[in-house]
Each structure stands twice: as C-alpha cells, then as structure tokens.
Chains A and B, each alone.
Chain A
Amino acid sequence: MPATRVSSTEAADRLIRELRAEHGELVFHQSGGCCDGSAPMCFPRGDFRIGGGDVLLGEVAGVPFYMGGAQFAFWKHTHLTVDVVPGRGSGFSLEAPRGVRFLVRSRVLTTEELRELGEPV
C-alpha cells in the first residue's frame, strides 16, 4: 500500500458520509491554537477558503484534508488518523451538533514512508 499522510477510522468514515449526505461536498482543515485547536475542522467545501499557503495532506473518505503550511512544517514527520469521539467541540465544524467531534490520532512516519513521501530521512 502506498504511504499516506492521513487516513481515517471506520467511525470517522461513517460520520463523513452522513455529513456529506446532509451538507454536500466537504473539506477538512487542521486547526491549531487555543480551545478547540489542534483538532480537524470539517466544513462545506467552498465555505472555508483554502489559501495559497495551505498544504493538501491527502483525502479521507474522499474529503480533502488541508493544513496551514507553517504548521505542516512541524507535523510532516507524522501520520494522522482522523477519528471521532463523543464530545461537543466548538468552532464551526459541522459534526459538533451531533454530540461528536473529529479528532486526530498520530504516529511517527517510518523511514520507508518518509522516503516514499519525499521527506528527508
């Protein structure tokens, strides 16, 4: 299997499918900072404006997953798995009213994965 930077759990995939049925095409943007920061935000695609500095990490359940470039510089050696947990969130992420919240779990990319992704090892 080719190396990826981001993947998702089955529970996250199910939730993404439900949200897509309700809101149409979606986009993820990984947040940073206070409160609900360091959590992925899920928006209707086109609502959040992806900037020139944002980096596309990959797709989860067909939904593009972005992160700010400066933040990516500190994250690029890790693999992210989008999961979902009971919770309330804050911010404008679409899933919060359902009483659940997207979350990223992380692991360090292996040397082989880093090489395949074109990162220095």
Chain B
Amino acid sequence: MTYVPPNHDGAIVRFRARYENFIGGDWVKPAKGQYFEDITPVTGRAFCEVARGSSADIETALDAAHGAKAAWGKTSAGDRASVLWKIADRIEQNLEKLAVAESWENGKPVRETLAADLPLVVDHFRYFAGCIRAQEGGVSELDGDTVAYHFHEPLGVVGQIIPWNFPLLMAAWKLAPALAAGNCVVIKPAEQTPATMMMLMDLVGDLLPPGVVNVVNGFGVEAGKPLASNKRIAKIAFTGETTTGRLIMQYASENLIPVTLELGGKSPNVFFEDVFAKDDDFADKALEGFAMFALNQGEVCTCPSRALVQESILGQFVERAVARTKRHVPGNPLDPKTTVGAQASNDQLEKILAYIDIGKKEGAKVLTGGGRAELPGDLAKGYYVQPTIFQGTNEMRVFQEEIFGPVVSLAPFRDFDHAIKTANETLYGLGAGVWTRDGNTAYRAGRAIEAGRVWTNCYHLYPAHAAFGGYKQSGIGRENHRMMLAHYQQTKNLLVSYSPKAMGFF
C-alpha cells in the first residue's frame, strides 16, 4: 500500500507549515526573519518553510549550548545513557511516521527508510548509550609511588554539519557519540533536507535538557560557515565533499580545533570469478551486491559505483547484472514496492545527467539505463534517473568521480593483482566490496584494498559497532563505533605521586 503523501487527508505524517530553529529547548525565530521553502523531490513541489538562519542564530545557539555544557558534562554517564535510550525508544515508537517523512523530504524509497535508515538511527542511539556506560578510563602504575590516571572528559560545545543523503541517520551518527560523551551540540542540517530533523526535535526535544542540542537551519554560506569558523566550538564534524572539507579544516586550523570529516568515495566492488562457480544462493547474493549501486538512488558515500569483474566471467556477469538491474522498481518513493526513488534535488539530478553525458562522450558503453526516468502524473516533475550501467575503463571520469546517482561503471580485471591495482587507483578510500567463495582471496583482497571498510561477501550494511571512515581523501575519523567517542573527548591525565619524600633534585 502506498503511503498517503504528508499533509494530505489520511496521511500519517503532518509537517508543520513552518519550522523555526530549535535553540535552548525552544522554537526560536531566525534573527533576520527569513525562511526558505523545503521542496520534496518526489514531486518537485514545496511542502513547508524552514528558518533561514544566519550568524546571529548560530551565536544564539552557541550561547544556549555554552549555558548547558557544565551541567550536561557533569551529568553521570548513566543518566546521559538513559536520555539516549529514551530518544531511541521515542524514535522507535514513531518509526513509521519518521520513515515516511524522510522518504518524502529526501526522495528515498520508504522500504529503505523503514528497514534501514530509521532502525539504524535507533540502533546508534542505543549503541552509544551502552558504549558510554562501558567506557573506562585508565590507570598506569609508573612505579610503586607514581600513578597516571586517565579520565575522559567532554570537549564542551561541538559543531556538526549534516548531509542530505541520510538526514536523520547522519545526524544520529554524529549526535549519539557527541551526547554520550557529554558534549552540547549545535547542528546544521542540510538545506535540502532540514525538516525531518525538526520533526525529530518535536518528538525528542523534551527528553534533553535545554541547550544540549540546538538546531540551526539555513544555507551553508550563511549558517554553516559561521558555525564551522566559530571560535566557540571545540570541534567540528562534517560529512560532505572535498572542497568544503578543506575549507572546514582551514577554519579549524585558524581556531586550532580538531575536525572529523567524511568526504565520500568511489568504492570498488570486486567480483572474483568463483562467485559463479555454482548457480546458488551465493551467486544470487553477489548479484544483489552489484545491484546495491542503486540503493538510495546512489546517493551514498560508499555507493559501489565501480564494479570490477574478473574477465573470465565478464560475459555471464554482464548479462546477469543487467537483468538484475532491470528488476529494480523505479517509482513513487512512498510505495513500499519501489526500490529506486527520486534524486534529492534538481541540481543533483542535473549533475548526474551531466555525468552520464561525459561517460558517453568518453566512450563508455551504456549497458542499461542512461537517462532521466520519466514518471507519470504527480511524479513527472520529480527528479528521477534510470539505474544505469556503464562499461569502460578505470581512468574514465565516470570511474573516478562520485556521481552520487544510480550509476555504476563496470570494468574487467585479469587477476588478483590487477584487481587490487585497479581498486586502489582512486583518490578515495571509504568503502569497498569483495565477493569470492575463497576465504584466502577474500582476506588478502580486503587487506590490500586501501579503504576504511571492505564489505566482504556483503555490502551496504551500516550497523553500529563497526567502524566507518575513510582512507586517502575520504576523510578523517571513524564513526559508528566506540572509537568515535575519542573524537568527542579530551583525555585528562592526573599524574600523581604517593611518595611523601622529595624527589631529591634540588
């Protein structure tokens, strides 16, 4: 059954007509009194207004965060964990509603938000609730009278800039560890997808002490920049692209604060010849792993957008991969049968089409797809792209740039060494996939590929408790794991002498 579009009769989701900023536990009008329209990519029409924040709003949010940081930082780990757990429960109780809202605002299929985005949001809050309870400091006995104690302390107030591809999940990846570690947060959602974060604050705002989480919406240059360059943040976290990543590091360098960055990739998905040694469940699983390039319309930093296939099975693989890709169901994101929804924005659509264009001009062969998807009725003005497979060579631009659309570029490799060399011929190193029935090959390939995560005989799983982050130009830091706490904490060392005697130096 297709969900009724939000704000229509019978819909389970009702967006407010207008969202203010959420600062100090209250809805606060933007200082300049300006708003911008939020457009659903499903139909290309606006569905609500959102505050267009500016530096004055960032300062107000930072005031609130600094006002709250002493108390929140001293709140016991048990109480902080309890708040995170309650947030998870509240989200779980409203999971279907948030999933439909996320689908409407971002364009992603509701089958994904119901099965992945929102359950993973819940999972991450619970994971970090557990993590902070289990975290321990350290005691180092330097000699019989001298002990070094290591305590974890919050950084204080941190800034977080969230991307539009998984608006709630990316916010959860950043909020959960920051809050668990005892920080107060000023968060700036993406301007393409600001509303579900505000819907979330509507749902969970009462669970948090005022000022612990502050949300300021607006455009990057108007709200993101005053946050990222602000002297009153102790750390900045950003998910996005490389040029803005550099700019954020540059601002951070001026304030001498740490950054964590997740900047995308061009992930190789490597299929060794033995995947088709039998025509069984595993062969089918590998093909599903290939077709994952269209998950979230390819708007995933780890989109397996380079399929590297051993040449001995190339013909058979291409035939079966094309057939599998054609089984994708493009359409209305609110229909649970849809597997490929709308691209998140018009400029995103245009960019993808520009890449399909240069792919063709460079001589890559279109095996299927290769253009905009024309859908009927209300969807005609939405932003839809056909799942597209190119065949070509690794130096082509469609093999080297993150298209962020449902586009995969396929190339053959001769042997193991050729596969690894090709896989690593990229500026990025975020994700990778390896498919083989041979454990030795799987292990060696996984270790040889320069990427922060190598999915082995699986792809696109994002559980909490598995570290996620990039090699090379893909970024700095590891999210989704206890080790992310370290990116939100200071280490306090107390170096203590228990000796009553002077050292004897003077």
Contact = CB atoms under 8 A, between A and B. Distances in A.
Interface residues of A, number: 42
Contacts of B265: 33-34
Interface in B337-367: 345-348, 350-351, 354-355, 357-358, 361-362
B242 A31 contact: yes
Q: Do most interface residues of chain B lie in helix, strand or loop, or is the interface mixed?
A: mixed
A33 B263 contact: yes
Interface string B216-227: 000111101100
A35 interface: yes
Chain B interface residue count: which class?
35 or more
A117 interface: no
Interface in B198-223: 219-222
Q: Determine which residue in A34, A68, A103, A108 has the highest number of CB atoms from chain B within 10 A of its CB, and name it.
A: A34
A106 B354 contact: yes
Nearest to A39: B351
A71 B266 CA distance: 13
B346 A85 contact: yes
A64 to B, nearest CB: 14
A89 B401 contact: no
B264 interface: yes
A37 B219 CA distance: 16
Given A74-B395, A92-B247, A35 B165 contact: yes
Contacts of A97: 36, 52, 219, 221-222
A104 interface: yes
B427 interface: yes
B354 A37 contact: no
A35 B240 contact: yes
Contacts of B219: 96-97
A15 interface: no
A51 B225 CA distance: 20
22 contacts: A31-B243, A32-B242, A33-B241, A34-B263, A34-B264, A34-B265, A35-B165, A36-B244, A37-B241, A39-B347, A48-B243, A48-B246, A74-B427, A78-B362, A86-B347, A89-B220, A89-B347, A90-B244, A91-B240, A92-B247, A93-B220, A104-B354
